[in-house]
Amino acid sequence: MPDSGAVQGSDFARYQRRTGNWLRQYAGDVRSLSPGEIQRYKWKNIVAGWQIRVLNSGRQFLVLLNDCFPYSRIQIAYFGDDHYMEWPHVEEENFLCLPDEGWRPRENLEYSIAQRLKNADDLVANCQSNDYLRSESEREFLTYWARQEDRLTVLSIIDTKHTKSRKIAAKVFKGGYIVGENDSRLQTWLGNSGGGGTENSIQAVFAFVSEPPALPLPKSSRQFVRRLLDQAPNLNGLIASLSPFETTLVILAARSEDGIALFGAKLHRAPKKGFRAQPNPKILRSIWSSACRYSPLRVNRADSAWIHGRDQDPEGHQSLSSSRVVVIGGGSLGSQVGARLAEAGVGHIDIIDPESLEPCNVGRHALGMESVHNNKASSLASVLRVRYPHGNFRGFEGRWQNILQDRPDIFHQADIVVSCVGEVEQDLSWDSWLQSGALGQTPTVYGWLGTQGTTGHALALKAGGPALSCYFDADGFLKNPDTEFTGGNQMRAEPACGTEFQPYGPLAAGQAELLVTRAVIDSITGQATAPFHRVYACSSADLDELGGTWTDYHRANRPEGYEGPFEYSPTVESCNDCCHCND
């Protein structure tokens, strides 16, 4: 047995010996692998192994142990002719990708060995069937496409909802290519991402094929054209406008049970000698087949539907990507909510804030030190454009009153407004305008944190119902607070005028951030309708540590006997006592 590098007496060493003993009892022709043979599987972290013969079938395999054994599953390689890129679930050096099922060795060694060998033997047996080879490799064809090449890659922002064959835009990008619907969208994406513009355009086409490619994959332009392009005869109309004497990117899409997959090929330009200047589609396919060098391309999707959900929620993504959200306030809460909404796939976000980022803000803000002394709204929008170049993010420097006066279209086009200003007078002023009906039934979600971050609130209101003044008194305090603190509102201040702040950290802000973000997304997707109110409350132990107590109002909403953190949704109704209700 070669030295595996395991400490004598360790779990690895003990289970390595037990595995060898089992194999010698139940398998045939058992032989320990040499260090050189093990080295071939270093890329899989293999440190020990045996060559064995399965008694029932006579097939030979390598039983391999990696450096996490016996807490990792036993690995198997097929011992025989090289079938990489011929059989599905077979990697380099005939290493087999087997399903992760059953017990691990540490839990049940004997069952683990037997099950893994059975799975390996069954896989090799199945690979003798052409039907199996086709169906299995079609199901996972992206695993194999362009794998044997020099990894020419394409970044795609093509809209896969549109299945019509069409010409697309393509440009050289970071050693590969980027493709999109048209030059304008590509330039916008590149500008947002910081990639800059490029004039190195490539002619390109996009089409859906009726069946995914199966192993063995095309190895020449002739095989690519006959096996794949001939599945998209509606490309003929486009091909007439292409030149065979220019490099062409062909991006194809195939549907599978797991969604839409993109793949492609680069057809290098043909020599002009001996061909007409503009051949017809049939001749062009012939030129591609006979005179063009072929390179398969790995296509990485970067379109919005893939980035935000991998195509698993098309209806929800459609609602979010087409929605317009205005975020008033780009501070510790508003910046995080704006960033989360962008991450969730909201396509249009306008952020409004008059202030610049200061070093004291960084600890609980979505921006970092690189944005200090820059306007919060503009800086956050710039960061989001780089993170999600397919989105539309804008920052407006100023108070919302000024932006409303100068750019009322921003608010009238919004599907929802989020106010995270954290100043009651600002929120009450906005709510007065909201309740006037100027935005119709467009809702506003107000987000704020309670004293020392012990509670978080998301209150969704719209015109014609309860107003924000139903919740705050004339002095700007909640009428029904959840907490009480000795000494009032617990505000802290720097040794300067106008520097008061609430002493809560990023964890408390994070709870409110998620609460508000969910309220906005639920409103956009129709999961919730304003008015509604959601409250996050910390644990009783955390509140006690901060010197606070629960009010009778909160105790009436807290589950009896439960003292941990939780969320609840109090009833939203008019108070019949505020300035709005008595107006």
Give the list of residues 6+ apart from residue 486 with CB closer than 8 angstroms, or none.
Answer: 547
For 91-108, the pLDDT digits (tens) are 999 999 999 887 899 999
CA distance 423 to 551: 23
User: Which pLDDT does position 278 carry in this prediction?
Assistant: 57
CA distance 214 to 144: 9
First-to-last CA distance in the chain?
Answer: 90
CA distances from 112 to 15, 96, 183, 233, 431 (A): 12, 16, 55, 50, 64
User: Which pLDDT does position 381 carry in this prediction?
Assistant: 97
User: Which pLDDT does position 505 carry in this prediction?
Assistant: 61
For 459-488, the pLDDT digits (tens) are 999 999 999 999 998 888 899 999 999 865
User: Which pLDDT does position 244 carry in this prediction?
Assistant: 85
In contact, 236 and 279? CB cutoff 8 Å:
no
Q: Which CATH number is associated with domain 323-568?
A: 3.40.50.720
What residues does each domain of the chain span?
11-128, 143-302, 323-568
Query: Residue 78 forms beta bridges with which residues?
Result: 61
Residues in the chain, pLDDT under 50: 1-3, 5, 8, 492-501
Give 204-265 as a 3 state SS string: EEEEECCCCCCCCCCCCHHHHHHHCHHHCHHHHHHHCCCCCCCCEEEEEEEEECCEEEEEEE
User: Which pLDDT does position 6 carry in this prediction?
Assistant: 53
User: Which pLDDT does position 150 carry in this prediction?
Assistant: 60
User: Which pLDDT does position 3 carry in this prediction?
Assistant: 43
Query: Residue 295 forms beta bridges with which residues?
Result: 266
User: Which pLDDT does position 256 carry in this prediction?
Assistant: 80
In contact, 502 and 476? CB cutoff 8 Å:
no
CATH class of 11-128: alpha beta
Q: What is the pTM of this model?
A: 0.86
The pair of structure tokens assigned to 182 is: 């048209």
